[in-house]
Amino acid sequence: MKIPSMLYGRPGAVKSRAKKKVREVVAAREFERLDCGPFVDTNDVEGLLLVRSERFQAPGEHFHCYALTSAIFDLVSASEMFATMDAWMKWSLLDAWRFLGVLDDLTTNALNQNRSLLFPYVEAAVRFWPEFKMEGRRYGPTLDQPMGAWDVMRNLKYALANLGLTADELRAEPPDGPAVLVARLNAAKG
């Protein structure tokens, strides 16, 4: 998977770069103008794919996929947050690396407040699932063993539950990925 090199490094440096980048476009919500610079292939660089910030992360340099979303929360007022997050979520469903940035708890409220995002969010996860699976057990944050993609996708499970799946159906990773769950939802619709 290709991820912007600006998201790779130690937490403080990445968060600083992300905040600077987001500041350029957040007021106008023109995320399509967001230029994150050159990309690096995750096959060429070691490090975890971190989908949320934690106080205790594995030491070293990692991909801080959450950093742009976190920067938005640092820069946007509460009164502007809904409209900003709505635009951010829609922008984030277009690429695998962007999607990794909207997996954390900061974006759950956007899915809750705009229910029309639930199915597009799930569809994006299905579309990018092969890329996510190819990364193996490389997701975090974690101080123990890195996790697989299904383990860190709390928002995907939240969306699927709100679309009608039960907690039992979401407990274990489906052998063929989330596409089988979407097929189940579509079959239930008739």
Question: What pLDDT does 144 receive?
Answer: 72
pLDDT in tens, 79-97: 999 999 999 999 999 999 9
Q: Region of 47 please: left (phi>0), alpha (psi -120 to 50) or beta.
A: left
Q: CA separation (Å) from 92 to 37, 128, 144? A: 16, 12, 29
56, pLDDT greater than 70: no
Percent of the chain topping pLDDT 90: 84
To the nearest 10 degrees (0 to 180), the angle between helices 154-162 and 118-134 is: 140
Tell me, what amino acid is at 74? D
Beta carbons within 10 angstroms of residue 80's beta carbon? 14
Cα separation of 85 and 83, whole Å? 6
pLDDT band at 143 (very low <50, low <70, confident <90, very high): low
**CA-wise closest residue to 88 among 113, 63, 55:** 113
Cα separation of 50 and 7, whole Å? 10
Query: Which domain does 152 fall in, by range?
Result: 2-189
Mean pLDDT, the chain, rounded, equals 93
Greater confidence, 189 or 113?
Answer: 113
pLDDT band at 142 (very low <50, low <70, confident <90, very high): confident
Count the domains in the chain.
1
Distance of alpha carbon 97 from the chain centroid: 7
**CA-wise closest residue to 165 among 183, 185, 144:** 185
CA-CA-CA-CA torsion sign (58, 62, 65, 68): positive
Whether pTM exceeds 0.85? yes
Question: What pLDDT does 112 receive?
Answer: 94
- Residue 103: exposure state from Cβ atoms within 10 A (0-12, 13-18, ≥19): buried
